[in-house]
Structure 1
Amino acid sequence: MHRTLLPLLIAAGLLVFGANSVAAQDIIPPPNPASPRAITQTSFSDGTYASIHYGSPRKRDREIFGGLVPFGAVWRLGANEATEMTVTQDIQLGGMDLAAGTYAVLAIPNEETWTLIVNAGLGMWGAFSYSDEHDVLRLETPVSMTDDIHEAFTITLEANEEGSAGMLSMMWDQTSVSIPVTPVE
């Protein structure tokens, strides 16, 4: 009986002390990326689906446009990888035709207008490998200033109630840019 009881007591002791040492370890939460990936998407009544994948940096008390994002320079439209947009059918973006496909979307911000660039070059890190030779569309759009401060860079793509058209909007700090989106019938 003594031979059977001793191994049992040792096993029980290991379980108790082993459980306590595991419980005493600090749980380290996963890292919170400074610029998490985000997605916006919508569907239109004609069956067109559009999505935009982008990095969403934070303001963090910095001067954004004219500071962190210089005026007059090509910007990745977010953080990390260049923003990418996919449309399943042809659309008009700001009144200009854009064929179905997946594209990089960049911008050249200025104080009063932005130039939005849709480019066939995919897989870009930032705008470092950007080449205007692959531009599919460029359009100039006015900038609106808001009273609200948008801490996170945000892109929204929303269809109207009927689903016949929509709006692509980009907001960061007190800057907002909106471009109409219409499926081509």
Structure 2
Amino acid sequence: MKTVIKTLLFTLVLVFSYTANAQKFSDLDPSPMDAATYPSNYKVSDKTIKIIYSRPQLKGRDVAKLTPNHQVWRTGANEATEITFYKPVTLGSTKIKPGTYSLFTIPGNEEWTIILSSDINVWGAYTYKEANDVARIKVPVTQSKAILEAFSITFEESKSGAYMYMGWGTLRVKVPFTF
């Protein structure tokens, strides 16, 4: 009888100690984080640019309502998008030193304003301050026949550096970096 009680007590202690120490992991984020790099080839470890952003989904919604015209947008979801330059680059006529910056945008029907800010580790665009802008450039908006459900960023080599493409729905924006 003592053996049965000891076994029962031991089992109860194990069960309660397991649940007391079990970790609670959060569910998958509806707008998962992603990264894009230039060069994009994973065999090349010497990167020039890396961008970390969250990828909101359309889910039947209109891009124009999710990225209101003439309002600063975090360029993704959740935290503001962060872009890191490992080498000096130029955006428009502004030389950018190596380092990490937040990437904000101001959407418009015909063009978007691309903003690099010295503010990092910020949530959304709620605390955006124009005084902390490092560079700004306006780029045209184009449309594609292909529809992207998730906001996406990718890079492509150009003659003088790289283009960063942003797309969502049928909207496309091409940002030139030179180096």
Q: TM-score, normalised by structure 1?
A: 0.77
Match of 2:107 among 109, 125, 129: 109
Please give the secondary structure, in 2, of the residue aligned with 1:143: strand
- How many angstroms apart in 2 are the aligned matches of 1:104 and 1:132? 12
Amino acid at match of 1:49: T
Q: Percent identity?
A: 33
Matches within 5 A, 1:46-57: 49-57=48-56
Amino acid at match of 2:52: H
- How many angstroms apart in 1 are the aligned matches of 2:166 and 2:92? 14
Structure 1 residue 95: Cα displacement: 5.0
- Report whether the alignment pairs 1:172 with 2:168: yes
Residues 108 and 114 of structure 1 are in contact (CA less than 8 Å); yes or no, is this contact kept in structure 2?
yes
1:48-72 deviations in whole A, cap 9, x for unaligned? 521000010000000112x122111
Structure 1 residue 170: Cα displacement: 0.2
- How many angstroms apart in 2 are the aligned matches of 1:48 and 1:39? 12
1:76-121 deviations in whole A, cap 9, x for unaligned? 0000000010001111224542221110000000001000000101
Amino acid at match of 1:62: R
Q: TM-score, normalised by structure 2?
A: 0.79
Query: Which residue does 2:28 correspond to in 1?
Result: 32
- How many angstroms apart in 2 are the aligned matches of 1:33 and 1:95? 37
Residues 95 and 180 of structure 1 are in contact (CA less than 8 Å); yes or no, is this contact kept in structure 2?
no
Structure 1 residue 156: Cα displacement: 0.8
Match of 2:90 among 67, 92, 108: 92
Structure 1 residue 42: Cα displacement: 1.8
Q: Which runs of 5+ in 1 are unaligned?
A: 16-28
Please give the secondary structure, in 2, of the residue aligned with 1:127: coil
Superposition RMSD on alpha carbons, in Å? 3.0
Instruction: Name which one, 1 or 2, has greater alpha-carbon Rg.
Output: 1
Please give the secondary structure, in 2, of the residue aligned with 1:139: strand
Bigger RCO of structures 1 and 2 (CA < 8 A, at least 6 apart): 1
What stretches of structure 1 move > 6 A for 4+ residues in a row? Answer: none
